[in-house]
Amino acid sequence: MSKSRRDFLKSSAAVLGAVAGTASALAAREAGNPFEPVSAGELAQGPTPPVKLQAPSVPASRMQVPKVKFGGVEISRLVVGCNPFYGWGHFNPTLGTVMKEWYTPDKVCEILHQCNRYGINAYNYLHAGRAPLDLDRFRAEGGQMHLIAQGTADPEGIVRDVKPLAIYHHGETTDRAFRDGKKDSVREYCKKLRQLGVLVGVGSHQPEILATVEEEGWDVDFFAGCVYNRTRTPDEFRKLLNGELPLPAGDVYLDKDPPRMYKVLRQTRKPCFAFKVLAAGRINAPDDLDRAYRLAYESIKPTDGVFVGLFPRIKDEVRDSAERVHRILAEGL
């Protein structure tokens, strides 16, 4: 081999290695900590222009999740949740880490597209971390989701960046505000949402809070209720459980909780979304899944929906959930 050719190959390999190293670093940040600082070299390159991609050439399933009117659009009565995408497993840090590692940007977009193919066209979105980048990519690839966003941050930024259909005051934040005597802050947040022109909601894990908002006539359009009250204080658990305190006390799912929340969601005329209906993945046997989904749709109104996070690492939870919901709702619920 000539000297000039050897030099060319060496220089090419060096360039490719540098590019691969930069790409690996970027990918690692996307899959890991989304807040990792950007290097000076990456900043010098400027922003990466958006790439317009075509929608995946996979035909839609004949079986579609039924839809319901919400605001001025029709959305699926099964709404995909975001918690598993970003490692919020509501079990322990190990499960959360496994979820976060498995759900690369590629995988998040793949699952959202699969949801679309089964007629799931609504997304319980949280505007944090890597989520905006994944959403931008999904949309660039032709995906479409109506966003029902969790309001944990400045709502003006959420509306500006992703243009959601609806925003609701995040459940844990609501519960904390009521417990600390600051429920007016929740109401003021809702007023700000109204000014921004989105559908306005309040979320909570405590049925009594949603009942209070309803009784006081707040200017809201919908409710999001967790069917398991996972924001009880340690003292509340001890009182309820004859002095016992479950470990960990932050994610406890009691089987008598769902009827309490379902009663409140059923009584209001406003549209509602029930969430954690599968107890954050604790309900997973086939018969138990049927019972949980059936209980949810039997207990809420025909105008209501369900948020469900999906983690199809072991089985195809997207297809399984869509088929169960289609079958149950086809029975006339």
CATH number of the domain that residue 135 is part of: 3.20.20.70
Shared-domain flag, residues 15 and 163: no
Instruction: Report the 3 state secondary structure along 253-268.
Output: CCCCHHHHHHHHHHHC
Shared-domain flag, residues 256 and 203: yes
Shared-domain flag, residues 40 and 71: no
Shared-domain flag, residues 125 and 13: no
49 found inside a domain: no
17 found inside a domain: yes
pLDDT of 174-198, one tens digit each?
999 999 999 999 999 999 999 999 9
161 found inside a domain: yes
Q: How far is the CA of 95 from the CAs of 102, 147, 280, in angstroms?
A: 11, 26, 11
226 found inside a domain: yes
Shared-domain flag, residues 222 and 284: yes
What pLDDT was estimated at residue 24? 36
DSSP string, 158-213: HHHHH--SEEEE-HHHHHHHHHTT-HHHHHHHHHHHHHHTSEEEEEES-HHHHHHH
pLDDT of 195-219, one tens digit each?
999 999 999 999 999 999 999 999 9
How many domains in the chain?
2
Q: How confident is the model at residue 19 (pLDDT cuts 50, 70, 90)?
A: very low
Task: Tell whether the model's pLDDT for residue 148 goes beyond 80.
Answer: yes
CA–CA distance, 299 with 263 (Å, rounded to integer): 7
Strand 146-151 with 222-226, pairing: unpaired
Shared-domain flag, residues 7 and 143: no
pLDDT of 238-289, one tens digit each?
999 999 988 887 788 999 999 999 999 999 999 999 999 999 999 999 999 9
Shared-domain flag, residues 15 and 162: no
Query: Positive or negative, the Cα torsion across 277, 281, 283, 289?
Result: positive
Query: Positive or negative, the Cα torsion across 96, 100, 102, 103?
Result: positive
Strand residue runs (E) in the chain: 67-70, 73-76, 78-81, 122-126, 146-151, 166-169, 199-204, 222-226, 272-275, 305-308
Identify the domain containing residue 214 by its residue range. 67-330
